[in-house]
Amino acid sequence: MIQFIQNLGRNTCISFNKLGRSTYFLLQTMSGMFSVLGRPRLLLNQMYSVGVLSFLIITISGLFVGMVLGLQGFYTLSDFGAEETLGVMVAASLVRELGPVVSALLFAGRAGSALTAEIGLMKATEQLSGMEMMAVDPIKRIITPRFLAGLISMPILAALFSAVGIIGGQMIGCGLLGVDEGAYWSQMQANIDFQDDIINGVIKSIVFGFVTSWIALFEGYDAIPTSEGVSRATTRTVVNSAFSILGLDFILTALMFGDN
């Protein structure tokens, strides 16, 4: 029993300690923002490895998610004779929820885990301490460009996911199942609001990009510098990112769409 209470206390201390360190890490990262703007090369390189290389998985998943939504939505809606509102259903669920959430989950798996492994290995092979020896701040040189790249790429990827998904839904709905194409688009335009739906979706994806990049970079930076430590850190990145994305999504949805 005493053992249990001891463990509880220790684990609480450890988690608060980690939270504090990660906040300090985030502040350090943010303070490096301006120096990165002076060296756009670093940012461009990271945009390539974080954003461009995630492009394919995001668009292909978006296409399939849209197609599945079109198929499933059609079967449910045709029971009520409301096939014309298929466009609204596909677009609303993609723009509000699935676009930001699924692309953030994929992003955490595709780019977040790579970031953690890269930085964890840099730490394990003492590249980070090497930089410090040469009076180069590893946070400014390594972490901040990656953080910014994640922050910029995420909304772009989420917008692409939604756009491709809507086209996928249209392909299945109008091409295969025979929903009227004009009704698909016009119902969508009548019911999707730019401010309420699309801007809120973009805000969501910016928040998710912020959180996933933060988690991935901190876990890498904080990893125990052994092979096992890096592998654990990578696992933690994916698990923690998924939790925070889904939890934050609930909170954001309640805040944004709660009143209507």
Partner 1 sequence: MQHTSTQDTLVGLFVASGIVGLFFLAMQVSNLTSFVDEDSYTVTARFDNSGGLKIKSPVSAAGVKVGKVSSIYLDPKTYQSVVQLSINSKFNTLPDDTTASIFTAGLLGEQYVNLEPGGSDVYLQKNGKIEITQSAIILEKVIGQFLFKSAEEKK
Which stretch of DSSP H or E encloses residue 82?
none
Binding window for partner 1 (CB under 8 A); candidates: 45-53, 104-112, 172-180, 227-235: 45-53
Q: Which of 38, 194, 258, 259 binds partner 1 (CB under 8 A)?
A: 194
Can you say whether the dihedral through the CA atoms of 252, 253, 256, 258 is positive or negative? Answer: negative
Of the candidate spans 5-13, 104-112, 120-128, 195-203, the one that interacts with partner 1 by CB under 8 A turns out to be 195-203
Q: Which of 166, 223, 238, 242 binds partner 1 (CB under 8 A)?
A: 166
| Token pair for 204 | 């969501």
From the list 199, 197, 174, the residue with the least C-alpha distance to 185 is 174
Measured CA to CA, the distance from residue 18 to residue 6 in angstroms comes to 18
The DSSP H or E segment spanning 172 is none
Nearest to 47 by CA among 146, 119, 122: 146
41 binds partner 1 (CB under 8 A): yes
Give the total of residues touching partner 1 (CB under 8 A).
32
What residues numbered 216-255 form the site for partner 1, per CB under 8 A? none
Q: Which residue has the tokens 């999504």?
A: 249
Residue 169, interface with partner 1 (CB under 8 A)? no
- Which positions lie near partner 1, rule CB under 8 A? 41, 44-45, 47-48, 51-52, 55, 91, 95, 152-153, 155-157, 159-160, 162-164, 166, 185, 188-194, 197-198, 202
